[in-house]
Amino acid sequence: MKVVRLVLTFALLIMLIGCRRRLSGNPEVVSITPMNSGRDLEVVWRNDRNAEGYYVACDDQRLHGNERSSYKDTFQVISGAQRVCEGDGWSTYCREVERTCKYVSITSYLKDETYTTSIDLTSRVFIVNGIIVSRDSNPAWIKLDLSNKTASLASGVDTTLPNVVWFSFSINNYGGWIVIGKGPSNLALLIHDGYNYTHKYLAPGGGYNNVAVISPSVGTRFFFWINNKENGTIDPSDYFGAVEFTGIQNLGGNTYKADIVIYLQDRVRGLRWLRY
């Protein structure tokens, strides 16, 4: 009889161990979608029915709120900027503070068991050195190939090439640098001069033009928007980026040599986050 009891107890223990809830694995991302004209990001992942819950983090900083669940999927909207207000008891001052992410991680948990999926949102980085710009010569051209993911100096522009956009640099009679964007028939490369714009890693949502005049020095940055002309508005078919001057040398005779870095958000098209 004791043997039977031991066997039954052992069998029950095996059953209990075998029936323990376990997570199914790393959260499965269903979609990553820019929202609010590219300022915010919605991340949707498959719901694990065994999970007690989820942690969502922006660069290892845990986020709170905005998480909504359904039986099938779970999602969170991550805002690229927050409104922060401060007061002294007499008046209140509010400002917008950017909160863009290089990485977003989703962690499912069940007691002490966890699984994490990380999403890379870093910008692609291109370095172009030795741009010669003169008041008395033809513009300097930079070719940005969106298909081959390359950026290089070019002797001229060919807008018949598909999925390629061009920056031109020249100097006006007042010493200002003229930046012009060109693209094929379906794409427009638009420029924002960056003046009086306080965010570094969140590209502007408006104020772009075909041409801009800047006064570059080391650290000067302007932004660009590659817009699909078939739509004409910010959407997931677009690209955002920035150009930063890393070197300026006066060669004399109204001639300069410049080095630049181009940042391009192409991991999530239509997203205005430019972390690197």
Residue 67 belongs to domain with CATH number: 2.60.40
Single out the residue in 79, 104, 120 at which a domain terminates.
Answer: 120
In contact, 218 and 248? CB cutoff 8 Å: yes
Q: Is 17 a domain residue?
A: no
* Residue 275 domain-assigned (yes or no): no
* pLDDT higher than 90, residue 67: no
Give CA–CA dist 47/50, Å, rounded: 9
- For residues 199-211, one letter each, b for 16 or more C-beta atoms within 10 angstroms of the residue's C-beta and e for the rest, the string is bebbbbbebbeee
**6, exposed or middle or buried, with CB in 10 Å at 0-12, 13-18, 19+?**
exposed
Residue 237: closest CA among 247, 246, 251, 227: 227
Distances (CA, A) of 195 to 69, 133, 184, 223, 271: 41, 22, 27, 10, 21
- Give the separation between CA 48 and CA 29, rounded to whole angstroms: 12
pLDDT digits (tens, 9 = 90+) for 111-126: 989 999 999 999 999 9
pLDDT, position 9: 53
Residue spans of alpha helices (H) in 46-202: none
With respect to residue 15, please indicate whether it lies within any of the assigned structural domains.
Answer: no
What does the pLDDT average to over 150-177?
Answer: 93
Q: How confident is the model at residue 88 (pLDDT cuts 50, 70, 90)?
A: confident
Strand order in the sheet with 140-145: 150-154, 140-145, 164-171, 177-182, 211-214
The SS3 call for residue 7 is helix
Same domain, 254 and 145: yes
Mark which of 84, 102, 120 sits at the end of a domain. Answer: 120
Query: Is residue 248 within 8 Å of 261, Cβ to Cβ?
Result: no
Q: Strand, helix or coil at 135?
A: coil
Question: Average pLDDT, stretch 254-260?
Answer: 94
Q: Is 16 exposed, middle or buried (0-12, 13-18, 19+ CB in 10 A)?
A: exposed
**What ranges in the chain are assigned the alpha helix state H?**
2-18
Could you read off the pLDDT of 26-51 as tens digits, one per residue? 999 999 999 999 999 999 999 998 99
Is 84 inside a domain boundary? yes
What integer best gives the mean pLDDT of the chain? 88
Check whether residue 27 and residue 56 sit in a common domain.
Answer: yes
Cα–Cα distances in Å, from 13 out to 1, 3, 20, 22, 129? Answer: 18, 15, 11, 17, 69
- The verdict on 195 and 149 lying in the same domain is yes
Whole-angstrom distance between the N-terminal and C-terminal Cα of the chain? 70
Residue 70 has pLDDT above 60, yes or no: no
Model confidence at 15: pLDDT above 70: no
pLDDT at residue number 1: 53
Q: What is the pLDDT of residue 7?
A: 45
**86 & 137 share domain:** no
Query: In the prediction, which pLDDT does 16 show?
Result: 45
pLDDT(69) > 60:
no
pLDDT at 263 over 80: yes
DSSP state of 220: -
Q: Is residue 28 part of a domain?
A: yes
Does some domain include residue 116? yes
Q: Domain boundary at 100, 120, 140, which? A: 120
Average pLDDT over residues 131-157: 93
Distance, C-alpha 267 to centroid of its chain:
7
Of residues 6 and 249, more confidence is placed in: 249
pTM for this model (two decimals):
0.86
Same structural domain, 163 and 69: no
Which range scores top for mean pLDDT: 60-74, 88-102, 112-126?
112-126
* Rounded CA separation 74/107 (Å): 12
The percentage of the chain sitting over the pLDDT mark of 90, rounded to a whole number, equals 66
Same structural domain, 92 and 133: no
User: Would you say residue 10 has pLDDT above 70?
Assistant: no
pLDDT score, position 135: 87
In the prediction, which pLDDT does 72 show?
A: 63
Q: In terms of residue numbers, what domain contains 154?
A: 124-265
Return the residue matching tokens 């200002």.
176
pLDDT at residue 84 is higher than 70: yes
Q: Which DSSP category does 138 fall into? A: P
Which residues, other chains included, contact 72 with Cβ-Cβ below 8 Å and sequence gap of 6+? 46, 47
Q: Higher model confidence: residue 13 or residue 123? A: 123
Residue 276 lies in a domain: no
Instruction: Assess if residue 172 is contained within a domain.
Output: yes
Tell me: the pLDDT tens digits for 181-195? 999 989 999 999 999
Share of the chain above pLDDT 70, in %: 89
137 and 199 housed in the same domain:
yes
